[in-house]
Amino acid sequence: MNPLVDPAPRGPLLGVNIDHVATLRNARGGSAPDPLQAALAAVRGGADILTFHLREDRRHIRDADVQRLREQSPVPLNFEAAATSDMLDIIEQVRPQMVCLVPERRQELTTEGGLDVRGQFERVHDACTRLARAGCRVSLFIEAEALQVEACAASGAPCVELHTGAFALAVEAGDAARAEQQLQRLRAAVEQARAAGLRVHAGHGLDLRSTPTLAALPGIRELHIGHALVGHALFVGMEQAARDFRACIERAAGAGR
pLDDT in tens, 186-230: 999 999 999 999 999 999 999 999 999 999 999 999 999 999 999
Distance CA 13, CA 120 (A): 29
Within a domain: 49: yes
Question: In the prediction, which pLDDT does 254 show?
Answer: 83
> What is the span of the domain harbouring residue 129?
13-256
Amino acid identity, position 246: R
Distance CA 178, CA 166 (A): 9
Question: What is the band of 1 on the pLDDT scale with cuts at 50, 70, 90?
Answer: very low
Is 138 within 8 Å of 128 (Cβ atoms)? yes
Within a domain: 1: no
Q: How far is CA 134 from the centre of its chain?
A: 20
Within a domain: 210: yes
Within a domain: 5: no
Give phi and psi for 117, each to the nearest 5.
Answer: -65, -40
Residues designated as active site = 53, 80, 204
Rg (Cα) of the chain, in Å, rounded? 17
CATH number for position 181: 3.20.20.70
pLDDT above 70 coverage of the chain, percent: 92
pLDDT per residue over 144-183, tens digit each? Answer: 999 999 999 999 999 999 999 999 999 999 999 999 999 9
Distance CA 64, CA 70 (A): 10
For range 248-253, the mean pLDDT: 95
pLDDT per residue over 67-78, tens digit each? Answer: 999 999 999 999
pLDDT above 90 coverage of the chain, percent: 89
Within a domain: 7: no
Distance CA 227, CA 233 (A): 10
Distance CA 173, CA 107 (A): 25
Within a domain: 62: yes
* Stronger pLDDT, 109 or 14, i.e. the higher one: 14
Neighbours of 56 (CB within 10 A): 13
Within a domain: 8: no
Query: Which helix or strand (DSSP H or E) is residue 10 part of?
Result: none
Largest Cα–Cα distance in the chain?
Answer: 48
Say yes or no to pLDDT of 112 above 80. Answer: no
* Domains identified in the chain, total number: 1
Neighbours of 119 (CB within 10 A): 11
Question: In the prediction, which pLDDT does 105 show?
Answer: 61
Q: How much is the mean pLDDT over the chain?
A: 93
pTM for the whole structure: 0.92
Question: In the prediction, which pLDDT does 203 show?
Answer: 97
